[in-house]
Every structure is written in structure tokens, then in C-alpha cells.
Amino acid sequence: MWKTQERIAAFDSDRFQTLGPGFLALSLMGEAGEVADVVKKLWRTEPRMGTRDGFEALPPDVRVALAEELADVVILAVVLANHIGINIEEEAERKLSVIEERLADGYYGNESK
């Protein structure tokens, strides 16, 4: 099992045991919304946010904000996965294989180039 998933499980065992899957899923979506909000606010003044050059346009303070919000997303996703018995590392590897197969079959089109 992924080392971080185990650490999150230990953290979770003391803190989130009373939360159900609905609450965790909604919390996860709330955190994903906060990631989107950080990007949306920058997009108002930086049109490159909608292009692949947008990564270069991220100022240091926005990178810090995104790091915090993305960490929240990952932690909540792993908490939910742990409660329903999903090994994130195995599933991520499986999904990457699926994506590789789709790319090889031309499934994604031009955006994959």
C-alpha cells in the first residue's frame, strides 16, 4: 500500500471515523471547487490559464494556494478510498494503463499530443 495512504489512514483513525461517505464525497467536491476557484480568480487577469502556457503564468502565491487545496483534495480522496477499501496506488496504476491503451488507440485525439 502507498506509504501516504497508510499515513492518512492512521491520521483518519483518530479524526474522521464518524463521517459517512456522503459527507466525505461532498467535502472532496468542496475542496476541488476551491482548486477551481483559485484558478478562476487568476484567469480573470491571465488569459493563458485556458492554455497549456497557463502553467508558466502561475505566480508563486497561487502555486502555494493550489498546493494547499490540492493536498486537501488528495487527503479527502484517500480518506474516502480507505473507508471503502480501495488501494489508491493499485487503482492509479490500473487507470494509467487504461489511459495508455486509449492513447494508443487514438481515443483522446489532438489534446494528447
In a domain, 47, yes or no: yes
58: cell is 502561475
In a domain, 91, yes or no: no
Range of the domain at 31: 3-86
Which residues have CB under 8 Å from 48's CB, separation 6+? 54, 56, 57
Sole residue written with cell 492512521: 10
DSSP symbol at 47: G
Cα separation of 89 and 78, whole Å?
10
List pLDDT tens digits, range 61-94. 999 999 999 999 999 999 999 999 999 999 999 9
User: What pLDDT shows up at residue 111?
Assistant: 59
In a domain, 43, yes or no: yes
36: confidence class by pLDDT, cuts 50, 70, 90: very high
In a domain, 99, yes or no: no
List pLDDT tens digits, range 6-25. 888 888 887 766 678 999 99
Cα–Cα–Cα angle for 9, 15, 20, nearest 5°?
A: 85
In a domain, 71, yes or no: yes
In a domain, 42, yes or no: yes
Report the number of distinct structural domains present in the chain.
Answer: 1
User: What pLDDT shows up at residue 51?
Assistant: 94
User: Looking at residue 59, which CATH number applies to its domain?
Assistant: 1.10.287.1080
In a domain, 101, yes or no: no
> In sequence order, what E strands does 1-113 have?
none
Of residues 40 and 12, the one with the higher pLDDT is: 40
User: What pLDDT shows up at residue 2?
Assistant: 74
In a domain, 62, yes or no: yes
